[in-house]
Amino acid sequence: MTASRAWARLALLGCASLGCASLLAGCGTQAAKVAATAPPPVTAPLSTSLVTAQGTWAIAVMGGPAASENNFWQLFVRPAAASKWSLVTPAGVADNGGLVATGAGSSLLVGFRPSQDLAFSPLAASADTGRNWSTGLLDADLANVPDAIAATPAGPELALLQDGSIERAPTASAAAAGLWSRLTTLSALAASAAGSRCGLAGVHAVSFGQNEAPVAAGSCVRRGVAGVFTEVGGTWRSAGLALPAAFGRDQVQVLGLAGTAAGSTVLMAAGHSLLAAWPDGARWSVSDPVAAGTVRASGFGTGGSAWLLLGGGRAETVAGPGRSWQALPAVPAGTATLAPGPGGSYEALAVAGSKLTVWRLGQGAWAAVQVIKVPIQYGSSS
């Protein structure tokens, strides 16, 4: 199916105010068959934020109950050097299944998860903070995880599918034209030497590492092993991420990846703890643990920073390698996602129906700095 035909089909099926999906998104990939019991999946919702050269982006679900198809996923941007957020969700596409996004140099790539009668994932890219969008197509279903797509400034792109397969496009223009090819499948990766040593049970994130090498990560049956893999010359190898001995009895699941020039920053759950890890040449730096809980959202910032939004109003941030996790004050009610703010601060984006309130952290307290009313046409996705 061509991109133009796909978008025409979407226009017939689309939601007027852009689609809906449950916030409680699971790991979203099919598990490989293994002899031992796979680790129970840790929820990794699609709500997230990321930073590109254009600015800071945030994804959140708004509207009413998902059961009545009144939840609508939205994309917001705060341009670099600006203090205000804007609604920039690409128009004309039903996003009932949720949004995923990745940055590539000066461009942002957004993927729409299939929903309702759709069996493919439209794509949209912008190089001007969402004022204009170019369209593309992945004729398959993106996985239900925040890091289901990855891109590089030079053009190669990756897409993680719902069944755990990984697709690759050699350039952005090829991706836009729907020219994707199979890089690997979950079963093939699990059967590789590195996957076998981990007991790979599922793939939950993709990114690019050094020299634009594809990176895939997921959950392992074997205890104490982190399933992070790089593809070099057609062979998948372990990325060499070794956890401290204290986690030797824990099954490990990767929640997210963020590609950097040095490799991929990793967020993962190990037993009853949450950890971050950063590549350092042939070695890795692993953070101290944070007590696990319900993961409501997670994301990455600049310089290897990362954040976690947990249940009970908890939020934790880490500034990068060698730094400790820092607890933020209890977040405002309705907070759907966090985002790095001006001057190294953080902002909380809180949702109440069709209203988004931006809260900024300063001097140990949250202060409301902006309100955005999102035009939602309830019932338009039925």
- CA dihedral for 351, 353, 356, 359, sign (positive or negative): negative
Task: Give the Cα-Cα-Cα angle 212, 141, 340 (nearest 5 degrees).
Answer: 55
Give the separation between CA 323 and CA 158, rounded to whole angstroms: 30
Give residue 116's pLDDT.
Answer: 73
Give the separation between CA 275 and CA 93, rounded to whole angstroms: 36
Task: Give the Cα-Cα-Cα angle 145, 168, 97 (nearest 5 degrees).
Answer: 30
Give residue 42's pLDDT.
Answer: 62
What is the architecture, at CATH level 2, of domain 3-373?
7 Propeller (2.130)
Cβ atoms < 10 Å from Cβ of 162? 18
Give the separation between CA 247 and CA 253, rounded to whole angstroms: 12
Give the separation between CA 233 and CA 187, rounded to whole angstroms: 19
Buried b (16+ CB within 10 A) or exposed e, 308-337: bbbeeebbbbbbbbebebeebeebbeebbb
Give residue 310's pLDDT.
Answer: 95
Give the separation between CA 61 and CA 336, rounded to whole angstroms: 8
CB–CB of 288/318 below 8 Å?
no
Residue 252 exposed, middle or buried by CB count within 10 Å (0-12, 13-18, 19+):
buried
Domain boundaries, the chain: 3-373
Give residue 67's pLDDT.
Answer: 52
Amino acid at 148: A
Give residue 280's pLDDT.
Answer: 85
- Please give the structure tokens belonging to residue 43: 């929820």
Give the separation between CA 212 and CA 23, rounded to whole angstroms: 32
3-class secondary-structure state, position 347: strand
Q: In tens digits, what is the pLDDT along the chain, a chain of 382 residues?
A: 333 333 333 333 333 333 333 323 334 444 444 445 666 666 578 999 999 999 999 999 998 665 556 678 999 999 998 999 999 999 888 777 899 999 987 899 999 998 777 788 999 999 999 999 999 999 999 999 999 999 998 789 999 999 999 999 999 899 989 999 999 999 999 999 999 999 999 999 999 988 889 999 999 999 999 999 999 999 999 999 999 999 999 999 999 999 877 778 999 999 999 999 999 877 899 999 999 889 999 999 998 999 999 999 999 999 999 899 999 999 999 999 999 998 889 999 999 999 999 999 999 999 999 999 999 876 665 4
Give residue 380's pLDDT.
Answer: 63
